Amino acid sequence: MTMAHHPPCRLAVLISGSGTNLQVIIDRIEAGELNAEIVCVLSNQPDAFGLERATRHGIPALVHENSAFPDRRSYDAATVEILKSHNVELVILAGFMRILTEVMVNAFPRAIMNIHPALLPAFPGLHSQQQALDYGVRFTGCTVHFVDYGTDTGPIILQSVVPVEQNDTEESLSDRIRTAEHQIFVRAIQLYVDRKISVMGRKVLISS
Ligand code: GRF
């Protein structure tokens, strides 16, 4: 059980797709295991299945299409306005397939978490699972990190190692990694909510 010393942490979850990570966060909150509240889900894809997951659980879900804004900075400015109006404390990028500008990063310093399907700094960017297969690594995994100005470069909070099997396809490897993602993402959010995380330069310290 979580320590209930603080009011529930106000989360926003940004998605672009299926939202299985979102679902795990919803489930843990509903089970009373995570002292948080998802105050809004935002997608840049109107057909993202994660929107339906949010709606089913009574969570406000919004779509900001990329094409509705002239550039990424104005996209981010509109996002910041919405998130601030909901008093969001922590922004969760759960499969949000868009690079943030400094407009978002500056508005939520050390308060944006991303999940990446590789052991950073290996295989940043897109198609990390295929990159791992092409490289021939024996192990890959996933990383939860704070978002800074770079792409997949921010301070690392948690990582999980996943073996690569000889007959893996991009899909089978992605499935195995996603199972690990579901575990470390909620653990990282839990640490944040319990105020056990501090950041020193690019190192994340976790108190017990
Ligand atoms: C995950 O593999 C995550 O690492 C990547 O996008 C995927 C999102 O999956 N950034 P889901 O939408 O949470 O199912």
194's tokens: 């319990």
18's tokens: 């299926």
pLDDT digits (tens, 9 = 90+) for 7-50: 999 999 999 999 999 999 999 999 999 999 999 999 999 999 99
Of residues 143, 120, 146, 142, the one with CA closest to residue 198: 146
**pTM of the entire predicted model:** 0.96
204's tokens: 């994340």
Of 59, 88, 108, which residue constitutes the final position of a domain?
108
In the three-class reduction of DSSP (H, G, I as helix; E, B as strand; rest coil), residue 164 is classed as: coil
Asked if residue 34 and residue 91 are part of one domain, the reply reads: yes
pLDDT digits (tens, 9 = 90+) for 103-117: 999 999 999 999 999
Please tell me the predicted confidence (pLDDT) of residue 59.
98
144's tokens: 């939860």
Examine the pLDDT at 128 and tell me if it is beyond 60.
yes
Kindly write down the DSSP assignment for every residue of 19-74, as one continuous string.
Answer: -HHHHHHHHHHHTT-S-EEEEEEEESSTT-HHHHHHHHTT--EEE--GGGSSSHHH
Please tell me the predicted confidence (pLDDT) of residue 36.
98
Examine the pLDDT at 3 and tell me if it is beyond 70.
no
Examine the pLDDT at 4 and tell me if it is beyond 80.
no
Buried b vs exposed e over 162-188: b needs ≥16 C-beta within 10 Å?
A: bebeeebeeeebbebbbebbbebbbbb
Is any ligand 1 atom within 6 A of the Cβ of residue 18?
yes
What is the tally of structural domains in the chain?
2
Examine the pLDDT at 191 and tell me if it is beyond 80.
yes
Ligand 1, residues 15, 16, 20, 123: which to mutate, most atoms within 8 A of Cβ?
Answer: 20
pLDDT digits (tens, 9 = 90+) for 48-105: 999 999 999 999 999 999 999 999 999 999 999 999 999 999 999 999 999 999 999 9
Asked if residue 120 and residue 71 are part of one domain, the reply reads: no
Asked if residue 156 and residue 102 are part of one domain, the reply reads: no
Examine the pLDDT at 189 and tell me if it is beyond 80.
yes
Of 108, 123, 156, which residue constitutes the final position of a domain?
108
Name the packing angle between helices 128-135 and 170-193 (round to 10°).
Answer: 120
CA dist., res. 19 & res. 169, Å (int): 21
Domain presence at residue 86: yes
Please tell me the predicted confidence (pLDDT) of residue 6.
82
Sheet holding 90-93, edge to edge: 61-63, 36-43, 9-15, 90-93, 112-116, 139-146, 156-163
Is any ligand 1 atom within 6 A of the Cβ of residue 21?
yes
Give catalytic residue positions. Answer: 116
Of 77, 108, 139, which residue constitutes the final position of a domain?
108
CA dist., res. 201 & res. 82, Å (int): 29
Asked if residue 180 and residue 99 are part of one domain, the reply reads: no
Ligand 1, residues 181, 182, 184, 189: which to mutate, most atoms within 8 A of Cβ?
Answer: 181
What's the domain range around 143?
114-208
Is any ligand 1 atom within 6 A of the Cβ of residue 147?
no
Asked if residue 165 and residue 99 are part of one domain, the reply reads: no
165's tokens: 């099997």
Asked if residue 208 and residue 120 are part of one domain, the reply reads: yes
CA dist., res. 136 & res. 76, Å (int): 37
pLDDT digits (tens, 9 = 90+) for 137-188: 999 999 999 999 999 999 999 999 999 999 999 999 999 999 999 999 999 9
Examine the pLDDT at 2 and tell me if it is beyond 60.
no
CA dist., res. 153 & res. 149, Å (int): 8
Asked if residue 201 and residue 124 are part of one domain, the reply reads: yes
Asked if residue 189 and residue 152 are part of one domain, the reply reads: yes
Domain presence at residue 1: no
What band does 204 get if pLDDT is binned at 50, 70 and 90? very high
Domain presence at residue 2: no
